[in-house]
Amino acid sequence: MGELVPDTATYRACDHRPSTGGRNTHPGDRSAMHRGKWGYASPEEWLRVPGPMVWRRTFPGTPQQVSEARHFVEGLFAGTPRSDDAGTIAAELCNNAVLHTVSGHDDGWFGVEVVLDDLAYLAVTDLGGAGRPVLTSAAGGKLVEGGFGILLVKELALTIGVHGSPQLGHTVWADIDLTLKIETAQEGQGVAVA
C-alpha cells in the first residue's frame, strides 16, 4: 500500500486555531456564532474553509496499486456527485503510468495529486521514459485498441492535459467540475450531463 508523504501532503491551506469571536482571528477563519456558541455550523462548513484542499500520495509502480490509488481518490471525492467518475479517471491515468512508463519497472512509483474545489484537479505523475503521452480522439467514431481509456477520461473530465518530458517524467491531469453529475448511459449509449 502507498504511503502518505508528510512533507508533500497538504490537508488545508488555513490556520486551525480556535476562533476568538472576531478578535485577532486568522483571515481564513470563517467560524461564527451558531446556536449561541462559537464554531462551525456543520462539518460541510468546516470542510469548505477558504482555499482548496490538497493531497499528494505516492504508490509503488505495480498493477495492484492502481486499485489502491482508485480507492484513495474515491475516498477523497466521497460526498461529491463525481466520486465514481474521479475513481475511473484515476484508475485509467495510474494504469497508463504503470503500463507505459518507467513507473512500472522495478522500484518504480507513481504519484497522485488531488485538489478539491468546485473545479477539482486530479493528476498522476509518472517517471517518464516512454515518450510523451498522447491524448487521442476516436477516428471516425470507431473504437480502436489503445487510447480508448483516455477517451473515457476526456468524456468524464471538463479538461485534460499533460506536461513534462520522457526524461523528467510526466503529469497527466484532469479538471473535474464538481457541480455537474455525469451519468454514463446503459450499454455504451454515450455520456449525458445531468
Tell me the Cα Rg of the chain: 19
Cell numbers representing residue 49 in the block: 474553509
The residue with cell 513534462 is 164
Other CB atoms within 10 A of residue 63 CB: 11
pLDDT grade for 190, boundaries at 50, 70 and 90: very low
Work out the mean pLDDT of the chain and round it to a whole number.
74
Is pLDDT above 60 for 79?
A: yes
The tally of domains found in the chain comes to: 1
CB atoms within 10 A of CB 171: 18
pLDDT in tens, 93-150: 999 999 999 999 999 999 999 999 889 999 999 999 876 666 555 555 554 446 678 8
In contact, 182 and 82? CB cutoff 8 Å: yes
Is 1 a member of any domain?
A: no
Q: Which domain holds residue 142?
A: 52-193
Q: Is 109 helix (H, G, I), strand (E, B) or coil?
A: strand
Burial class (CB in 10 A: 0-12, 13-18, 19+), 78: exposed
In a domain, 4, yes or no: no
Task: Over range 160-166, report the average pLDDT.
Answer: 92
**Is 16 domain-assigned?**
no
User: Does residue 184 belong to any structural domain of this protein?
Assistant: yes
- 25 in any annotated domain: no
The answer to whether residue 170 is domain-embedded is yes
Q: pTM score > 0.75 for this model? A: no
- The CATH number for 99's domain is 3.30.565.10
Looking at residue 15, its pLDDT comes to: 32
Is the Cβ–Cβ distance between 102 and 108 less than 8 Å?
A: yes
pLDDT at site 33: 45
Q: Cell numbers for 120, please give them.
A: 477539482
Task: Give domain status of residue 29, yes or no.
Answer: no
